[in-house]
A and B are shown apart, each in its own frame.
Chain A
Amino acid sequence: MNEAENPNPLFMPLTYLTTESNKTGSWRFLRPRYDEKTSPCSATCPAGEDIARIEMLATQGLFKEAWETILWENPFPSVCGRVCFHPCEGQCNRREFDTAVAIHSLERFLADTAIRYGIKPDMKKMSSQKQKVAVIGAGPAGLSAAWFLSMLGYTCHVFEASEEAGGVLRWGIPLYRLPLNSLRHDIQQIEALGVTIYTGKPVSPDVLEIMKKDYDAVFIACGHGRGMSMNVPGEDLKDVSEGLDFLRKLREGKTPPCPGVSAIIGGGNTAIDVARSVVRLGGKALLLYRRRRQDMPALEVEVEMALEEGVQLQELVAPAAVAREGDQIVLTLQEMKIAGEEGGRARVVPDEGKTRKARIDRIFKAIGAQADEPLYQPPAGASGLLSLSHTVLVRGNHGPVMVFGGDLTNETKSVVHAVASGKQAAMALDTLFQEGLEAIVPKLEACRVGEGSSLSMEIYMGAERRLRNPHVVRYEEINTDYFRFIPRVIQPRLLTEERVQSFEEIDLKISANLAMRESERCFNCGLCNQCDNCFIFCPDISVIRDKDHQARHINYDYCKGCGLCVVECPRNAMSLGEEKS
């Protein structure tokens, strides 16, 4: 202490220095740190969307940035915001507090806002690579692969057999769920990134052989174009057709007539799509499913709306035989009974002797699909075959690498799983080209979001998300003292009477106001949303604001390791560890 600094003329108890010379950091035996973690929604999302961050940006009114955050992991926000089965909401921590955040509606809102204001995304693209990749099938898997490969700097050509790109998005899902301009916008955005789509170019085995000379890799994502067979007598009657074909004709602008009663066999989204389309065409729809309503793989809300629109549902029946009787079709149905449960779904067996007949005018099958051509199937047991969670990679001694993805390889056949497949293919190919086959598994492993199979392109490309702690935040780790009960936004819809009149989109828009109020309900699990609690409550003024990414840092010269910041962080974005001496 230098007395010369003392400005007082008397030597008396009067201070003249501050306590800043006393570095109380030496008291510490626990050390807090900013440690952003993984939200359960993003870990569950097959595309690994950074949902907590998306909602955080939306709450701050940064819609463009929120939307771009989606595009990092999923080029189809307009689509998924409408048709995704949103497993994210099923894991949302907020559901244990009041109700899950309406992530699905918010994704749609962000996509629609971008379209409405003609916003162009600022996507990071790696420098150009020499390799060229061909993608067969412009469905969600193929287009996603092209999007991600383009981000990684590769030249991508997509070959689509139909006259327009989109696959099941264009030719399967009805307009009242997915309007055309929403889809077209997302596809155009993919093209704007540098992807070339050749429509009207079916790829036969011969064409494929020729293509192999021009490309370093081929991604086959043709999907399942052929329906499955019921294996019942009378199936080959002309009145029995594929549900998917019916939907395709509708999307082609041809209106296949369906007066009278149409029976639809199946319980998935395709079956529901067919049933609800029939209603809109003025017909009656009879939905026949072998298990119970709660076992149906279709989205619950779709089933509900179908029933509201007048679709009849018969549960626990399976087709046994089809016969023609004059103008009508007689469908013999075998009644099923429940023999147990597996994985939450009923296991059913025929109730011996119990059958009944349904008199209908036609039958649509919607019991599943398979690949059109054998070449579209990944070869089993080939050497140089690498099976990943959503793709299969085959590397022969010569020629391009063959990658299979989408419905061809996915266990769960959904749009978002197709996106995941496309992303995985892009990452696998890029790693193969840059580092080699052996590097693929560990490299992709490092890009996992949480503990599941979801991968993040943001992490893969080395952005800040790579610094996130993979620990998935649980509800118990949220400090709920900072949240009030707020009801979830209700997605506005057309009234039932209005819905059945046409193929107009059912879901209506929500305002920015409502959207922000809803996104504010998000806990932002594991993410710092700059609430400043750490700064507010630190007794030692050791949380210092700065201009870095975190916008604040801990001054370890003075931090006593009390842990208040960690406990008062509402969203577990900090961690407390032992102080190493």
Chain B
Amino acid sequence: MPTDIMDREFVHSGHVGCAGCGATIAMRFVLKALGEKTIMVLPACCWSVITGPYPLSALKIPVIHAAFETGGATASGVRAALDMKGDTETTVLTWAGDGGTFDIGFQALSGAVERNENFLYVCYDNEAYMNTGIQRSSSTPYGAWTTTTTGQDWKRLRKKNIVEVLVAHRIPYVATASIAFPDDLLRKAQKAKETKGSKFLHIYASCPTGWRIPSEMSVKIARMAVQTNIFPLYEVEDGRWYTINYKPKEYLVREYFKLQGRFKHLTDQDLDQIQQMVNEDWELLLHKAGDRI
């Protein structure tokens, strides 16, 4: 990786992301790693709006906005066309939110990676339909308030494990990343760029507006998610080889939850239960990585 990779910029100022937007930080990092020979497929999500209205664009690379559910399919088409034109160098990047990945875009994603299309799919995860006003998605974590899971109806279903879904498709490379760990994220994006076939990055991108946190806490919360094992950093190659990238400090999950307004209704009992669930998942992951017999 060239040492000045952090210096190059592919996002313009003046975009309309919220103050402290984690998705914007994620975009900056990924594009730094991928470079200028990148074409982005952008299904409906916050970034569809962040790029700015016609005739403005906040991105220095070509972007094709796509219908909500078509992230995987549109990218397949772009890739096919580029290959026909003899361009095998340009990276095709789908940049989708959790809604367009876990829910409505699930089919197209599964179809595209089943065909092992040569593209990189990045899901930046702010854990709800933020662009339309904080509605619940299957990526919303257990315990969260959203505008469609209010009061006592807070989400009592676990977050869908999209990474394991992609692992099951046995694609060459799947990884999680967090905006609080830029070096790790850049390395993974770079690695994805150099791998042929389907690649998937699941990036944790804090949302101050939707999570009810102060804008200056975006990175801190993202760091805590990793440190509490709620969002472990790991990679899976060829659907089989797990590598855990960060053995965290194992903070208690309540430290993470109590900082966010979207979790303020949780009781100590709820938090204990969640701690158990997180511990369980972490043990399972360690097992897959060969750290447990």
Chain A residues proximal to chain B, CB less than 8 Å: 1, 6, 13-24, 27, 481, 532, 536-537, 539-542, 555, 557-558, 560-564, 566-568, 576
CB distance from B247 to the nearest CB of A (A): 13
CB distance from A169 to the nearest CB of B (A): 47
Are the CB atoms of B52 and A566 closer together than 8 Å?
A: no
Are the CB atoms of B57 and A560 closer together than 8 Å?
A: no
Which residues of B from 1 to 38 have beta carbons under 8 Å from A? 6, 9, 11-22, 24-25, 28
Are the CB atoms of A558 and B14 closer together than 8 Å?
A: yes
**With A537-B25, A539-B20 as given contacts, are A20 and B218 in contact (CB-CB < 8 Å)?**
no
**With A537-B219, A539-B28 as given contacts, are A563 and B20 in contact (CB-CB < 8 Å)?**
yes
**Complex Cα spacing A541 to B11, Å:** 8
**Complex Cα spacing A568 to B206, Å:** 15
Are the CB atoms of B13 and A564 closer together than 8 Å?
A: no
CB distance from A34 to the nearest CB of B (A): 16
CB distance from B7 to the nearest CB of A (A): 8
Are the CB atoms of A24 and B14 closer together than 8 Å?
A: yes
Are the CB atoms of A22 and B25 closer together than 8 Å?
A: no
List chain B residues, Cβ under 8 A from A27: 19
CB distance from A2 to the nearest CB of B (A): 10
List chain A residues, Cβ under 8 A from B56: 15, 17-19, 21-22
**Complex Cα spacing A567 to B19, Å:** 14
**Complex Cα spacing A15 to B57, Å:** 6
**Complex Cα spacing A532 to B182, Å:** 12
**Complex Cα spacing A27 to B220, Å:** 23
For A15, A22, A557, which residue has the most chain B Cβ atoms within 10 angstroms?
A15
**Complex Cα spacing A481 to B251, Å:** 12
Are the CB atoms of A562 and B12 closer together than 8 Å?
A: no
List chain B residues, Cβ under 8 A from A6: 55
Flag whether B285 is at the interface (Cβ < 8 A): no
List chain A residues, Cβ under 8 A from B25: 537, 539
Are the CB atoms of B12 and A20 closer together than 8 Å?
A: yes
Flag whether B223 is at the interface (Cβ < 8 A): yes
Flag whether B217 is at the interface (Cβ < 8 A): yes
The residue that B55 contacts in the complex, of A17, A481, A532, A560, with Cβ under 8 A, is A17
Closest to A24 in B: B14
For B54, B58, B65, B219, which residue has the most chain A Cβ atoms within 10 angstroms?
B219
The residue that B52 contacts in the complex, of A22, A557, A561, with Cβ under 8 A, is A22
CB distance from B231 to the nearest CB of A (A): 15
Are the CB atoms of A18 and B19 closer together than 8 Å?
A: no
List chain A residues, Cβ under 8 A from B83: none
List chain A residues, Cβ under 8 A from B223: 481
For A22, A562, A576, which residue has the most chain B Cβ atoms within 10 angstroms?
A562
Are the CB atoms of B55 and A19 closer together than 8 Å?
A: no
Closest to B63 in A: A15
For A6, A532, A560, A564, which residue has the most chain B Cβ atoms within 10 angstroms?
A564
The secondary structure that dominates the A interface is loop
**With A1-B55, A19-B56, A19-B58 as given contacts, are A540 and B217 in contact (CB-CB < 8 Å)?**
no
The residue that A560 contacts in the complex, of B9, B11, B19, with Cβ under 8 A, is B19
The residue that B14 contacts in the complex, of A1, A23, A564, A576, with Cβ under 8 A, is A23
**Complex Cα spacing A542 to B21, Å:** 14
The residue that B57 contacts in the complex, of A17, A539, A564, with Cβ under 8 A, is A17
**Complex Cα spacing A558 to B52, Å:** 14
Are the CB atoms of A24 and B216 closer together than 8 Å?
A: no
Are the CB atoms of A19 and B15 closer together than 8 Å?
A: yes
Are the CB atoms of A540 and B24 closer together than 8 Å?
A: yes
The residue that A563 contacts in the complex, of B15, B54, B179, B214, with Cβ under 8 A, is B214
Flag whether B215 is at the interface (Cβ < 8 A): yes
List chain B residues, Cβ under 8 A from A1: 55
The residue that B215 contacts in the complex, of A532, A542, A557, A564, with Cβ under 8 A, is A564
Are the CB atoms of A540 and B54 closer together than 8 Å?
A: no
Are the CB atoms of B13 and A558 closer together than 8 Å?
A: yes
Q: A19-B13, A20-B13, A20-B14 are in contact. List 4 more A-B contacts (CB 8 A).
A: A15-B54, A17-B57, A540-B24, A562-B208
CB distance from B35 to the nearest CB of A (A): 17
**Complex Cα spacing A541 to B21, Å:** 12
**Complex Cα spacing A16 to B18, Å:** 23
**Complex Cα spacing A317 to B55, Å:** 89
List chain A residues, Cβ under 8 A from B217: 567
For B19, B21, B54, B57, which residue has the most chain A Cβ atoms within 10 angstroms?
B19
**Complex Cα spacing A6 to B223, Å:** 43
The residue that A19 contacts in the complex, of B14, B20, B219, B220, with Cβ under 8 A, is B14
28 contacts between A and B (CB under 8 A): A13-B65, A15-B56, A19-B12, A19-B14, A19-B15, A19-B56, A19-B57, A20-B12, A21-B14, A21-B56, A22-B14, A22-B15, A532-B6, A537-B219, A539-B17, A539-B19, A539-B22, A558-B13, A560-B18, A562-B20, A562-B218, A563-B20, A563-B215, A564-B20, A564-B215, A567-B217, A567-B220, A576-B216
Closest to A27 in B: B19
Closest to A544 in B: B13
Mask for B116-148, Cβ within 8 A of A = 1, else 0? 000000000000000000000000000000000
**Complex Cα spacing A13 to B51, Å:** 13
List chain A residues, Cβ under 8 A from B218: 539, 562, 564
CB distance from B170 to the nearest CB of A (A): 34
**Complex Cα spacing A536 to B181, Å:** 11
List chain B residues, Cβ under 8 A from A557: 13
CB distance from B98 to the nearest CB of A (A): 19
The residue that A536 contacts in the complex, of B15, B55, B58, B182, with Cβ under 8 A, is B182
For A20, A539, A567, which residue has the most chain B Cβ atoms within 10 angstroms?
A539
CB distance from B157 to the nearest CB of A (A): 31
Closest to A545 in B: B7
**Complex Cα spacing A568 to B223, Å:** 11
CB distance from A23 to the nearest CB of B (A): 7
List chain A residues, Cβ under 8 A from B215: 560, 562-564
CB distance from B177 to the nearest CB of A (A): 14
Are the CB atoms of A561 and B54 closer together than 8 Å?
A: no
Closest 4 CB pairs of A and B: A563-B216, A19-B14, A562-B20, A562-B19
Are the CB atoms of B57 and A536 closer together than 8 Å?
A: no
Are the CB atoms of A566 and B20 closer together than 8 Å?
A: no
**Complex Cα spacing A562 to B60, Å:** 23
Are the CB atoms of A567 and B14 closer together than 8 Å?
A: no
The residue that B13 contacts in the complex, of A24, A561, A563, A567, with Cβ under 8 A, is A24
List chain A residues, Cβ under 8 A from B208: 562
Are the CB atoms of B58 and A18 closer together than 8 Å?
A: yes
Are the CB atoms of B219 and A15 closer together than 8 Å?
A: no
Are the CB atoms of B28 and A568 closer together than 8 Å?
A: no
Are the CB atoms of B216 and A562 closer together than 8 Å?
A: yes
Which residues of B from 169 to 191 have beta carbons under 8 Å from A? 179, 182
Which residues of B from 201 to 232 have beta carbons under 8 Å from A? 208, 214-220, 223
Closest to B21 in A: A539
**Complex Cα spacing A369 to B220, Å:** 56
List chain B residues, Cβ under 8 A from A19: 12-16, 51-52, 56-58
Are the CB atoms of B13 and A541 closer together than 8 Å?
A: yes
**With A24-B16, A557-B13 as given contacts, are A539 and B55 in contact (CB-CB < 8 Å)?**
no
Closest to A1 in B: B55
CB distance from B194 to the nearest CB of A (A): 23
